[in-house]
Structure 1
Amino acid sequence: MTTPRSRILLLALGGTIACRPTRDGLVPGLGAADLLAAITPPGGVQVEVADPITRTILYPADWVTLSEIIHDRRAHYDGFVITLGTDTLAHAACALALMLQGLDCGVVLTGAMQAIGGAAGAPARRNLRDALQVAATGQGGVFVVFHGKIMDGRCASKQRSDSDDAFDSVNAAPLGTVSRSKVRWRRKLTAPAGRRRLRSALSTNVALALLAPQTDPDAIAALDRYDGIVVAGYGDGNVSDNLVAPLVELARRRLVVVASQCPHGAVHHRYAGGAALIRAGALSARALSLEMACVKLMWALGQAPTVRGARQLFRRA
């Protein structure tokens, strides 16, 4: 009896992994078929290819397109692998994790810090092969696979700009590893909750405000044009004294989420500045990465018809 083959759709979206060198620098030039030809696919995996988007940076409209492709083609495939640029990979993973509800197959995002061809492309080839192996396990969810680590798509964040080990799992341990062509989950993952459905609506009228010691209080007024604002404060989600009053007023008029500029650790708002914003109605990002805080706010505002509804959805999703 022959072993059933896992059918995986490889979606190539550009990025460094698919780049070719030119006189003007690296530009995306390789498609999904080229990437697949650069590796030996894992045994028992049948890979089909598609090139729906080609660019180095993905935009919110691209996340929607991706979610629709995966939702519409789910019945035809056992899993999906997406190769894309690393600079916005974490944002895309967060978005797909929110949009694809009740996901009963693996959606695995990966990329590389070097193009897949030549000697320097060995890490890229490993990442692609590892991603295909994880997708073929049948485990449902959105994952980022990079440098042998399997990360929850909601927690992965690019932390290094010049290392093959570019991504960390923020405030959560990696879910597993891929080593010597073997997938090892660190713990048993729970089955996807609820029925499978697509919730892809987003609001792009969201800003990220990274506070600095020289931030002028008058600059806060410019944020009033946005429906949602993620305020990246200091440490525990604190803000400087001179910004408390304008940020409190902003939190009373708009949906504000208070996060930290620190890449690791949750925010508890133990200091007066950050606590004042929470009392005024701002939401806490808690242990979310900055990427997830921004994308989740965009998603909540896009899904709910009212600010109150978006606030509730942000808290519970």
Structure 2
Amino acid sequence: MKRKVLVIYTGGTIGMEKNYETGSLQAFDFENIFSKIPEMKLIECEVSVYPFKNPLDSSDMGPNEWKIIANHIGENYDHYDGFLILHGTDTMSYTASALSFMLKNLRKPVILTGSQLPIGDLRTDAKENLLTSLYYASLYENDEAVIQEVAIYFEYKLLRGNRTLKYSAEFFDAYRSPNYPVLGQSGVHLNIEKDFLHRPKSGAKFEVDDHVSQNVLFWRIFPGMHLEHIAEIPDMKVLILQVFGSGTIFSTEKTRKTLELLRKRGTEIVVVSQCISGGISFGKYSNSNIFREIGAISGHDITAESAITKAMHLLDNPKYKESFPELLVRDLCGEITEKFEI
């Protein structure tokens, strides 16, 4: 029996081709993808295509588009064995992270991929990314999906979506998962590291929860900045503060007063690291003690992309009974190491 995979095309470089008269890139009709990649017909799965009516550059992808994708998967969940989302590279990690929280108790593969070069380019990485992603999206053993989470496949590597970040704007190997192992690699064989795969709780039913709050602000500190300007921003319920190293910030009195003021107003402060790997450890250095004193939340080893989308999903979400701080540090779908130590 052939597995059925739904391809959702949102836009991005993978759906572009060069107009050789103008030299510019332009979108092509993605429903004609089989004419661009005839090899797709050789894969042992049935492929259906759902293209966005107006394909988007990934910089235009946001909460509304995350909801569209999540709900379309929900509506078609029982009709397909796997889902492949074709997406621009710049914000793919944000979308993958957001979907991992929206698609609760997922038991089927949701793979995101894209490319650095257009599909019609002679040196394109689009064909390999697309074809291998289809294999992973249709991979089953004993009538059970091997991948049961949201993942990104790019340049021979399968990565947990909510652990990824875009590492390079130039190289084909564009993504990294610095704080979690690779889920699989493609070579002569498709390898899967089964010990690292996420599994939902036994008996938990799949559902789509597309709640998103946009009262979340991300702020990266830098030497010499005036942090007190943050307190002037209205309607901010969560501040994700990206700090130095394992959790340090400048120890000025203005900094302390600003952070204390925000907490008195009820703003939740989530602390994440500017470092690509490793994470936050309050108390390791004295300049991190302020966060413990004011009741800030340690983001541990979560990525900035995942912290932002997780906070947006959790904030004021009526489906959760626990408090925001409790849920932020809890591992919901493989995005954070609960017992993190440096």
Output the TM-score relative to the length of structure 1: 0.92
Aligned to 2:328: 314
Quick check: 1:248–1:277 contact (8 Å CA) kept in 2? no
**Please, what is the CA RMSD of the aligned residues?**
2.1
Flag structure 2 segments of 5+ consecutive residues without an equivalent.
140-144, 333-342
Deviation per residue, 1:141-181 (Å, 9 max, x gap): 1110000100011111101111110001130011111223x
TM-fit CA distance, 1:277: 1.6
Deviations 1:67-123 (A, max 9, x none): 0000110111000000011111000000111110111100000011111113122x1
After the TM superposition, which of the residue ranges 196-205 and 295-304 deviates more from structure 2?
295-304
Structure 1 stretch displaced more, 265-274 or 95-104: 265-274
| Counterpart-to-counterpart distance in 2, 1:306 and 1:185 | 33
Q: 2:272 aligns with which of 255, 259, 263?
A: 259
Give the conservation status (yes or no) of the 8 Å contact 1:14–1:31. no
Letter in 2 for 1:109: L
| Conserved? CA contact 2:70–2:99, under 8 Å | yes
For the residues of structure 2 that align with 1:162 and 1:266, how far apart are their CA atoms? Answer: 26
Counterpart of 1:54, as a letter, is P
**What is the SS of the residue equivalent to 2:99?**
helix
Report the CA distance shift for 1:204/1:143 in structure 2 as closer, same or farther (over 3 A): same
> Residues 158 and 185 of structure 2 are in contact (CA less than 8 Å); yes or no, is this contact kept in structure 1?
yes
Determine if the alignment matches structure 1 residue 73 to structure 2 residue 71.
no
Q: How much has 1:32 moved relative to structure 2?
A: 3.3
| Residue pairs, 1:1-317, within 5 angstroms | 4-21=1-18, 25-27=24-26, 29-39=27-37, 40-41=39-40, 43-52=43-52, 54-57=55-58, 58-121=61-124, 123-137=125-139, 138=145, 139-180=147-188, 182-188=189-195, 189-193=197-201, 194-223=204-233, 225-242=235-252, 243-252=255-264, 253-269=266-282, 270-304=284-318, 309-316=323-330, 317=332
Q: Deviations over 1:227-266 (max 9, x none)?
A: 1111000111211112233123323420110001111112
Unaligned runs of 5+ in 1: none
- Point out the more displaced range, 14-23 or 81-90: 14-23
**CA separation of 1:264 and 1:46: change in aligned 2, threshold 3 A:** same
Contact 1:35 1:116 in 2 (8 A): no
Residues 31 and 273 of structure 1: is their aligned pair in 2 closer, same or farther, counting only changes over 3 Å? Answer: farther
Q: Name the one with the larger helix percent.
A: 1
**Alpha-carbon distance between aligned partners in 1 of 2:230 and 2:23, rounded to the nearest angstrom:** 38
- Give the TM-score normalised by structure 2: 0.85
Alpha-carbon distance change, 308 to 47 in structure 1, aligned in 2, over 3 angstroms: closer
Q: State the AA in 2 paired with 1:160.
A: S
Q: Percent identity?
A: 25
**Kept in 1: contact 2:18–2:118 (CA 8 A):** no
Q: By how many angstroms is 1:283 displaced?
A: 0.8
